[in-house]
Structures are given as C-alpha cells and as structure tokens.
Amino acid sequence: MPSFRQHIVLFISVVLISACGTTNPISKKFTEQDKKIFDLIGRLKKNPADEEAKKSLPELYNSAVELRKDITVPNNNSAQSADRLLAQAHEWEVMKQMYDAIVSTPAAQKLISDPWDPSSEIQQAYTNAAEAYYQQALLALDANTRTGAQQAYDYFAKADKIIPGYKDVKSRMAEAKSRSLVKVLVNPVNYYNNAFGYWGFQNDWMQDQLVRDLNFRAYRDVKFYTDWQLRNEGVTPDKIVDLNYTNIYIGQVYTNYNTYNRSAQVKTGETKSDPPKPIYETVTATVYVTTRYLQSNANLQCRIYDIKTDKNSMYQNFPNTYTWKVETATYKGDSRALTPEDWVKINNSGFNNSPGRYDIADRLLHDSYNLLISRINSSVSF
C-alpha cells in the first residue's frame, strides 16, 4: 500500500502534469511578465541564436523568481492560512512550469544554468494547507453544534480534495455529516381513523413515497426516515412530519333522467320551377338521457414541526374533489333530427363502467399527495 508521502507526491505530480496539458489552468495565474518569459523561451526553442531573447530572458526570469519567493504565509492552522497556502502553491506552480520549459530548452538553460524547481515547496504548501483545514475542522467539530458539524464537513472535504485520504479525513467526514444532519421522521399516514386496507388499498405507499421523494431532492444536511428506518438505525429525530386525512368521502352513484325534443329542417326535394327551389320537411325526435354521477372528496392535513420547540415549518390542508359522470341516451323519432352531441350520448358505451371504491380512493390520495409534495418542494425549509 502506498505511503502517505507517496500519496502526496502522486497528487502533486498529477497537479503539475495537468498544468502542462492543453487546458493548462495554471496559465490563468500568468502575469504579463510570465507570458513574456514563456514567449522568449519559445523563441529560443525555435532559434537558439535569437539575441533579443537571450538578452531579455535572464533578467525577466530572475524578477519572476524573486516575486514568487517573497510570498509568505503566516505559520498557523487557520482557514485563512490554508486559503493563502493554496494561492501560494498555485503561484509556485507557475514557476514549476517555467522550470520545465527552461530545462527542456537547451538555449534557455545555457542562460539560466540553475533554474528554481519549486516542487518540494509546492508539496509542502499543499501538506500545510491540508493540515490547516483539518485542524479547523476539528475545532468546528468540537463545538458540538449542527452548524459546527456542517463547517467541519466542509473543512474536511477541502483537506481531502487537496490530499485525497489525508489522515483519517474520510471517517471524520462521515462523522461530521452524521452530526450535521437534520433527521426528519415521516410518520405513517392516518387514513381518516381507518386502516389503509379499509379503503381497499393493497399497501400503504404514501409514507414510503414521501421519504423517497424528499431524500431524492437532496436537501443539504437533511435526511428523511420512516418510523421503522429510524428504529433500525437507532436515530433520534429532530423534526416530524404528520400526515392525517381528516376526511375521505367516497360518494355513491346517483342517476338522473332527462327528456328533450329535437327538430330539424331536412331537404326532401326541389320544385319544378326554373330555377328550382329546395323543398324542406320538418323532422322531429325525442331524446331520453340517463345521467349517472358520483362525487367524492378528501382532505390531507400535513404538519411539519420541530420536536424541541414544537414550532411548525408547515401546517396546511390539501383538499381535492373527484367527480365522475357519464351520460347515455336513446331516442324515438327521426334520426335526422339528432345533433352530433346527441349521437355521442347514444353511442356511449361507458354506462356500466363506474369506478370502484379503490379506484376513487386511490385517485383522491394521489391527487392530494401531488399537491402536498409540490408545496413542500416549493416553500418548506428544513
């Protein structure tokens, strides 16, 4: 298994190799003087006898070295110190790229026989920065607050990004993440004081669905649990979501009968006059309409509250109504008097397809759930 020092060397090497790639993020740190130096080295690579380049390069390079070597960082483990150490390392990476360009260009190396290779300084700066973030994370974690744990996680993550696997940072991040979480219990649904099976449901899907949907949204430092998940993990909740149907009403099917008359002028021929004129006949029909309908409704009440303070994050009702209606018809008389609307009713084959108790309840619950999850996603903070 690679040693800790090998991990550091590998990481620094990757950074430096990346700096020489086509995207070259280090080039963003170039000053105008740096750009001029790289331009001069490039000219010497093409033409080792370029007198202007030979004259200008040593002075500009020495100036760039002095500028970067003068960068100092206070010797402490503050987060500000870590940020400055990273900035320092980035500046030195410019010099490392400059070093590589010089040693790969014979004409430039003749002019600068001992260019500065800052590899060890870069390595040390990254190590010091990781340690500074690590120590700041420990201090934040010792505060024993959720906010402190959140800060600790961010600092540990920064240390891990600088040097992957630094010390015990992975386990520390897991600890900080756990301590920073707001743990929310989603209680089983109360189906209007009846078990869910009373309404014909095969399973109690809503509790699990809400936990999945809210966790999928990935609130920062918030995790949602069912009651059995909470027990299995031995977790104490910070907030609770109560779901209560204060009303579920499944209506019965009612039937209404209605009769109306239709009449229409129908062309039956033409006169023998010149020009001929149309001859119309009035035709009539009686339409007998049967209307079957039912109305059902439900109201889902949701309360989200803090266990310690009993303060509500949300306390709201989500009512909805479902109306089913079907019309069929027969007629007597002349079919030519009927309208297209009449034929829709006459040809309707859904007379006996009234929804069952389960179908109605399932639709009411899904509609109210969709209203609930939309409201939580749009405006509830945990």
User: What is the per-residue pLDDT for 161?
Assistant: 95
CB 303 within 8 A of CB 245: no
Q: Cis check for the bond before 275: say yes or no (omega within 30 of 0).
A: yes
User: What is the per-residue pLDDT for 304?
Assistant: 97
Buried b (16+ CB within 10 A) or exposed e, 275-288: eeeeeeeebebebe
345, two tokens? 């009713």
Beta partners for residue 287, in sequence order? 260, 331
User: What is the per-residue pLDDT for 220?
Assistant: 81
- Alpha-carbon distance of 267 to 233, in angstroms, equals 82
The per-residue DSSP string of 169-227 comes to HHHHHHHHHHHHPEEEEEPPPEETTB-GGGGT-SS-HHHHHHHHHHHHHT-TTEEEEEH
Share of the chain above pLDDT 70, in %: 91
Average pLDDT over residues 338-351: 86
User: What is the per-residue pLDDT for 282?
Assistant: 95
Beta partners for residue 290, in sequence order? 257, 328
Backbone phi and psi for residue 274, each to the nearest 5 degrees, phi listed first: -120, 110
Place of tokens 């499944």: 250
User: What is the per-residue pLDDT for 351?
Assistant: 59
Q: Does the pLDDT of residue 315 top 90, yes or no?
A: yes
Q: Does the pLDDT of residue 21 top 60, yes or no?
A: no
Give residue-wise pLDDT tens across range 31-44.
899 999 999 999 99
Look at residues 341, 335, 243, 331 and name the one whose alpha carbon lies nearest to residue 283.
335
Backbone phi and psi for residue 339, each to the nearest 5 degrees, phi listed first: -95, 165
Model confidence at 26, in pLDDT bands (50, 70, 90)? low
